[in-house]
Amino acid sequence: MRPQRSAIWAAFLAVAALAAVGAGSARAADVIKFGISTPLSGPAAPWGIPHKQATELIFDEINAQGGLDLGGKKYKLEVVAYDHKYVIAEGVATVNRLIAKDGVHYISILGGAVVKANEEAVNEGRVLNLPLAYADGLVSTKNPLTFHSFPSPPETTTFWKWIKQNHPGLKRVATISPNDDTGWWSIKVETGFVQKLGYETVAKEFFERTMTDFNPVLLRILAQKPDIISVLASPAGSVGLIIKQARELGFKGRFIHIGQVDTSVVANIAGKANVEGMWVHGFVQAPLPEKVKSWQARYTKKYGEWNATSIDFANPAFAFVAAVKKAQSVDAKKVADALSVVEFENLWGKAHFGGKDYYGIGNQIIYPMPFSEVKDGVATLVVQLLPPHN
């Protein structure tokens, strides 16, 4: 009987050892889910796709090194992403699903109108939100867990000072923007800023995001003889159509988008010559700093095609990882507290969250913002500027 008992005991020990290894593996594979609600289809997909891909690339690189080490415990980072098509109802549905079904405590939503529609869900769910968006009141004391991860009009309008100094002949400004929270606030902020600089705002127009025929709107704008047309907050698909149709109607002036837009996508719709001289914030194709060149190589290797929009849309992931490391916790409130004080590297340099002097809360990302001019079809860096507040 003794040999039989020994065999049973050995088998038991083997099972126990396997269980211990299994438990250790489970601990090593503990997961932090990060939710993304973004447009992966439709006119705004040129924003949503690099939003998702940039986050995945950063997380995959961390996971390849064993994950995030928090107090000796390793955590794998996982992206849970849904397409909201830049439709508010879809945005609400996807965020509710992320919170209620997928159990995420950290999210990044793209689109000001979508983020506004989810304020209640984010605040009541005590979910940390790192959006790529802008809308009136988005950064405020009522949204303590929302850390806006992309420069918005109160920051990017500072580029108009550079235009004033370098192109004093431009005097008459017209604007066209989406008919929603993002568009309304963008134009309100930009108009106030340029008027203080002495520009004459000759037209303000809004359009539904599904619009494809801009001729009636453009005829009203062009009748006011603008020198420059701002398409702030408009997605690349719409911008391409606006420029194409404006040129066909005879407009010879400049275009500016100090939100963020892929000028190569715009040029594919509008024609390369029609986009020449356009100014943009946050989209740079050349010259690229070494850090950005490295990012370009890694991004292209993973996805097969380079997307320069990913440069700035990596901000939520960079900020989140830095804050979790500093907090040494997966508690959303502790990570939020860390975001308030942590300084981290993004692809343009040192970044932190600030802007309390403007917003009443320091939850706006601050870093040297890149601005480009399309020259011979290439979005060429002309200047980097800090926001007017810190």
28 pLDDT tier (thresholds 50, 70, 90): very low
Given a cut of 60, whether residue 11 has pLDDT beyond it is no
Given a cut of 60, whether residue 10 has pLDDT beyond it is no
73 pLDDT tier (thresholds 50, 70, 90): very high
Instruction: Give yes or no on whether 28-151+290-368 and 154-281 have one common fold.
Output: yes
CA 164 distance to own-chain centroid: 27
Q: Which two three-digit tokens encode residue 300?
A: 């292209």
pLDDT digits (tens, 9 = 90+) for 121-145: 999 999 999 999 988 899 999 999 9
- Percent of the chain past pLDDT 70, that is, above it, reads 93
pLDDT digits (tens, 9 = 90+) for 326-351: 999 999 999 999 999 999 999 999 99
- Angle at which helices 332-339 and 315-327 pack, to 10 degrees? 110
Q: What mean pLDDT is predicted for residues 96-101?
A: 97
Which distant-in-sequence residues (6+ apart) come within 8 Å of 33 by Cβ?
78, 80, 102, 103, 104, 105, 106
Given a cut of 80, whether residue 49 has pLDDT beyond it is yes
Q: What are phi and psi of 5, to 5 degrees?
A: -65, -40
Q: What is the DSSP string of 66-123?
A: T-EEETTEEEEEEEEEEE-TT-HHHHHHHHHIIIIIS--SEEEEB-HHHHHHTHHHHH
Place of tokens 């804050």: 323
What is the model's pLDDT at position 105? 96
65-69, 178-182, 203-207, 245-249: which range is least confident on average? Answer: 178-182
Is beta strand 30-38 parallel, antiparallel or unpaired with respect to 128-129? unpaired
| Mean pLDDT of the chain, nearest integer | 92
Given a cut of 50, whether residue 6 has pLDDT beyond it is no
CATH of 28-151+290-368, one of 3.30.70.3150, 3.30.750.24, 3.40.50.2300, 3.40.710.10: 3.40.50.2300
Gap between the Cα atoms of 151 and 369, Å rounded: 8
What is the model's pLDDT at position 16? 40
Asked if 263 and 239 count as a contact pair (C-beta separation under 8 A), the reply is no
Return the number of other C-beta atoms located less than 10 Å from residue 122's C-beta: 20
pLDDT digits (tens, 9 = 90+) for 63-72: 999 999 998 8
Write down the pTM of the prediction.
0.86
What is the model's pLDDT at position 299? 98
Tell me the domain boundaries of the chain: 28-151+290-368, 154-281
pLDDT digits (tens, 9 = 90+) for 299-336: 999 999 999 999 999 999 999 999 999 999 999 999 99
Q: Which CATH number applies to 154-281?
A: 3.40.50.2300
Given a cut of 90, whether residue 14 has pLDDT beyond it is no
1-5, 292-296, 375-379: which range is least confident on average? Answer: 1-5
What is the model's pLDDT at position 15? 40
What is the model's pLDDT at position 8? 41
390 pLDDT tier (thresholds 50, 70, 90): confident
Closest CA to 345 of 370, 372, 317, 324: 317
What is the model's pLDDT at position 24? 39
Given a cut of 70, whether residue 359 has pLDDT beyond it is yes
Q: Cis ω on the peptide bond leading into residue 287 (within 30° of 0)?
A: yes
